[in-house]
């Protein structure tokens, strides 16, 4: 089995796959700098779903540095991130943003499930594309 190992997150939680590692090897992730200010959606206040996704991104980044040597811990980090994205997508009012969140969550879920053969390893260009779409959707908030 293979594990997509290097996923860098940027913006609201765009993900780009930057490599594939063999099962059992250590994984490394180079997270981007986290945003320093909250996203706002006009006069109505912050987009709560994107804020939740940003919080999930920050949690993922914090955990990955600690879990880089443990494949099972990284799998759990990715699973937690996908779950948080799905939860945010359910609360998102904009259908395009919700779809971008769901697509990226599905990529992370497939990534973890590919370890056991339960799913095919997602195409890294699709992960990159879904991450970019998500970044654009949250950047508009």
pLDDT tens across 54-113, in order? 899 889 989 988 988 899 999 999 999 999 999 999 999 999 999 999 999 999 999 999
Query: Which segments within 12-69 are labelled E, that is strand?
Result: 14-22
pLDDT tens across 8-34, in order? 343 333 343 333 333 333 333 323 333
135: tokens are 């970044």
Cα angle: 18, vertex 115, 84; to 5 degrees: 70
């Amino acid at each position: 089995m293979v594990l997509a190992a290097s996923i860098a997150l940027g913006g609201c939680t765009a993900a780009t796959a930057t490599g594939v590692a063999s099962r059992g090897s250590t994984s490394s992730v180079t997270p981007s700098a986290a945003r320093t200010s909250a996203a706002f959606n006009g006069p109505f206040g912050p987009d709560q779903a994107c804020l939740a996704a940003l919080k999930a991104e920050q949690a993922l980044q914090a955990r990955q540095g600690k879990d880089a040597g443990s494949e099972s811990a990284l799998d759990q980090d990715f699973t937690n991130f996908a779950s948080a994205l799905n939860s945010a997508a359910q609360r998102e009012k904009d259908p395009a943003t919700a779809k971008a969140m769901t697509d990226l969550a599905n990529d992370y879920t497939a990534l973890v499930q590919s370890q056991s053969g339960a799913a095919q390893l997602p195409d890294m260009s699709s992960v990159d594309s879904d991450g970019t779409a998500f970044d654009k959707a949250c950047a508009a908030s």
